[in-house]
Amino acid sequence: MTLPTTARITRTVRFSAAHRYHTPALSDEENRRVFGACNSPHGHGHNYRVDVTLEGAVDPVTGMVMNLADLDRLLKERVVQPLDHTFLNLDVPHFRTVVPTCENLALHVMAELRPLAAQLQGARLLRVRVWESEDLYAEAGGGEG
């Protein structure tokens, strides 16, 4: 029996940030109605968890899809450092014009990581899952796995 030669790995990183749900496309009253407490002008914070899943060939020598030290460096540079201890709406240029929902955070992290394909050592970025709380996450990328 031949073993498969590809595998998936998931690395988790964490960051803390504040945000406010508000869009100029809606009136102040509509923002309050649509976003409720998440529309507070002072914002509120979360301890986010980000799961990044890669898929690729398992190197026959190292037994790895990708060197985890390299992956950790990329995640620190592209996810944790730019987002940790920020007020997303004010400190992250992308979220000055995009409501920083869990869904938009997942899409943003995926967009930040996707151009790094050359640094992923042949692995493919399969999925980004952003957990806003223990009972809410959003996912970008493929849903398989």
H or E, element range at 66: none
d(CA 65, CA 55): 7
For the chain, the C-alpha Rg in angstroms (whole number) is 17
Compute φ and ψ for 136, nearest 5 degrees.
Answer: -145, 125
**Residues 30, 44, 77, 85: which is the catalytic one?**
85
Q: Which residues pair with 62 in a beta bridge?
A: none
42 among known catalytic residues: no
Is 102 among the residues known to form the active site? no
- Annotation marks residue 85 as catalytic: yes
Q: Which of 55, 112, 132, 139 is catalytic?
A: 132
Q: Strands across the sheet with 136-141, in order? A: 86-87, 6-19, 44-57, 124-133, 136-141
Catalytic residue numbers? 38, 85, 132
